[in-house]
Amino acid sequence: MSQDQNAPLREDVRLLGEELGAVLREQAGEALFDTVETIRQVAVESRGQGEMPVKRLRQLLRPLDDETLLEVARAFSQFLNLANIAEQRHRERLHRHHQRYPGDPDTDRSLRQVLAELRNAGIGREKIRSVLENLSVELVLTAHPTEVTRRTLIRKYDRIADLLADLDRPDRTEEEKDRLRRLLREQILSAWSTDEIRRERPTPVDEAKWGFATIEQSLWQALPRVMRGIDAELKREGLESLPADWVPIRFASWMGGDRDGNPNVTAAVTRKVLLLARWMAADLYLRDVENLLADLSMHKASDELLAYTGPSHEPYRLVLRRVRNRLRNTRARMEALVNGAPEPQGEGYTSGQQLLDELNRIDRSLREVGLAAIADGQLKDTLRRLNCFGITLLRLDIRQESTRHSEALDAITRYLALGSYAEWDEKKKQQFLLAELESRRPLVDEGFYRSDLCSEEVREVLDTCRVIAEQGPEGLGAYVISMARRPSDVLAVMLLQKIAGVTRPMRVVPLFETLDDLNNAADTMGALLEIPFYKARVRAGQEVMIGYSDSAKDAGFLGAAWAQFRAQEKLTEIFRVQKVPLTLFHGRGGSISRGGSPTRMALLSQPPGAVAGRIRVTEQGEMIRFKYGRPAVAAYNLEQYVAATLEATLVPPAAPRPEWRAEMERLAQVSVADYRKVVRDDPALVAYLRTVTPETELSRLALGSRPARRKPGGGVETLRAIPWVFAWTQIRLMLPAWLGTGAALDRALSVREETEVVREMNAHWPFFQGLVDMLEMVLAKTDIRVASWYEERLTDDEELLRLGTTLRKQLAHTVDALRCLTGRDSLLDNNPVMRWSIRVRDPYTDPLHLLQAELMARLRERESAPLLESALMVTIAGIAAGMRNTG
């Protein structure tokens, strides 16, 4: 495959393009097809010949009426979605090739390769087994405020991908291929006939249901598949088998629990999501139990099982019928609680252990009577699902901003006539919090909830803690404090849980997000660990979250990455000295300015000792769909996490040399200063963002449930990190991913001694290699010419044009500096699949960019234009599909 690995991909893209063309002719007529094809051909010429064809392209677009503009936008957007399906299918193909030929240099590192390298490095089997036994990979599914594809279309696209896979089978006859192509055209027709744009904004409950659907349709199948693959690789290496219930992968969620800046996530919403998750879990286990009932018809059973069932010709089915009844009762109870109806009679499951005990009883019996092969079948898959998903499906995290907790405590101290908590210094806050945490008396009475001091915002914080108390720990994960800055921020949440009567508190996880917060993270956690009460509470382990989005928005990509690295170094050392296990929770997104990178690269670029067998990572909407939307791809990506975590734990990268560290400090200082000079200090930046990019138009899209801004109005500081990235991506400027980095590299490469150091860093330091590789990928998606098209159509303001010229020059200098560093003439020369992927999309994204600029201009001149609004939304969705990431 390495000889021409793109050939099958090109064939799939050609096939899907032909079928879409046939649908266009049939549904929209020859005239529209000819218009689309003419525009596409001119776009191809535009890529090769410069400005003249672009002017011609504009001439083709401007005379089109509103309805035709919408149809043209839909055609190009649909092709880009189909190209993504083909690429996803090709990744599945490459994954299979990788399993057959794990030494192929064009593929990722498999568990087989990692185990072989560990063996060659002299690491003993017992050491490997010990690390594996305690390995913990937890993936936290989060909603995506810029997820643009409707679930209805996602299902159709999945069906198209299935049909491509069927066509790929070499044993298909011509008749079978004809039938599959007919079905393929039907699905493309169905997608074309479906509105691409979500007309109603999803609620937090809708987002949670989307997460449940990902588990139901993909991860439920992928989890046992990946575990069987891991079992096989361990056996192949001669490693002693791990416990039957060993599952190193867990899932958590922020959907319905992340209330930071989202007024739509309330205590009532969180309660409903937790109940719906239990309903879905019961439903999925019911399906498994029905399958087991069909299979476990044998009569041989252990004395233990027969003592439990009594004499029976089919004892396993007897137990499973009881399990089925309890699961049905559980599901019915959850449904009643969600709907506010009376709870039905009958015994259900209130803990995962109850269901586990029943299934383990069957497992022990089968093994005791010589039917281990049957126990290792569907039953083992169900047991592994139960150990992974529990009866709650996911563990729900709660996230809230630190000032909301301070406001609640301030209201309480004023109610108690103790003064204003908000006005106390840090020392006095800590004294109060620790005294109350160790006190056995209640802090407030019901009178507080009836007082004027208990505002809606304060009541919501306390109500959330009451939901935590009533739901219990099994379905809950971490309580994440965004914008955490001081030890009192952590202690405050511990006290609020105590006030609400939480008997088994959620672990409290500070999230350090801005540059200053990251720089002070070690001091904050060090101060907490010096408090005997606190250290005793976290003796079993502490989790700390590292923020990528807001730190990059605050300091730029390079400066933030170095701050994240240093914060992890210092935290790792503090917790090592204090002998408290540390889990680092990485708040990553899909784009590089939000920490996005391939799994192995991300884990091996961490400081030595930072992984230590435990990793927790956010996976956001579009990346969930991309990495886990299909069972085969999900299984592959889950294996990658296990393999990379094992590798990073047992053979971590060496600590950076002193000269590398000194150079990174210089690079970061230059980068942060250059980034902030534009983002903070240039008065034209906000106006440029809102005029030249579709930042203001994003509010028209019914995207996620969370508002795009933390506060109404304001400048860049009020804009959330995700739409900040999204807006720049739409015009191909990708500013958050590179601004500042080019100036830093340029300066280093102008000094001979530093040039040698940075090239050495790029050759030997995984952290720096990861930065360079990700920078190269995002720069390959930028396009100076495309960005200028928006300016030409949308503004004649001299200040905005001045800033636009400056930004494009800085982008060009960044590309030149990167080429100089890597020694490669063209970006992505080392990644032909990615390079081809970008190039094949350009003739389809170019018209969408020009269309978008035209539509933005027309809409800003009219008060109401429904067709143009729909067309604009389609261009936003299409460009997002073409870029393969949004925020």
Please report the pLDDT score of residue 105 as a whole number.
Answer: 41
DSSP assignment string, 449-507: HHSTTS-HHHHHHHHHHHHHHHH-STTEEEEEEET--SHHHHHHHHHHHHHTT-SSPPE
The CA-CA-CA angle for residues 783, 788, 793, to 5°, reads 135
pLDDT score recorded for residue 589? 58
Q: Which helix (H) or strand (E) segment is 522 a member of?
A: helix 515-529
Token readout for 832 is: 């032909």
Active site residues: 144, 553
Give the per-residue pLDDT at 53.
Answer: 58
Quick one: which of 132, 367, 85 has its CA closest to 233?
Answer: 132
Determine the Cα–Cα distance for residues 160 and 184; give it in Å rounded to an integer: 6
Helix residue ranges, H only, 530-652: 532-537, 549-555, 557-578, 599-604, 621-628, 631-650
Pairing of strands 395-401, 614-620: unpaired
Residue with tokens 């991309």: 626
Provide the H-helix boundaries in 296-419.
303-309, 315-339, 352-368, 372-374, 380-389, 402-415
- Residue 103: the pLDDT is 46
Q: How far is CA 806 from CA 153, 289, 799, 803, 812, in A?
A: 40, 64, 11, 5, 10
Q: Hey, CA dihedral for 413, 418, 424, 426, is it positive or negative?
A: negative
Per-10-residue mean pLDDT, the chain, length 887: 68 90 92 90 72 72 87 91 86 68 55 92 92 95 65 84 88 91 94 80 87 93 95 90 88 94 92 97 98 95 95 95 97 95 92 96 96 95 96 96 97 96 97 95 90 95 96 93 95 97 95 93 96 96 90 88 95 96 82 59 88 91 82 92 94 93 96 94 93 84 53 57 81 92 93 92 93 89 90 94 96 93 80 74 87 90 83 88 67
Residue with tokens 């409950």: 205
pLDDT at 1: 46
What predicted TM-score, i.e. pTM, was given to this entire model?
A: 0.90
Query: For residue 421, what are its two tokens?
Result: 């908590």
Half-sphere exposure of 529 (CA within 13 A, CB side): 23
CA distance 804 to 796: 11
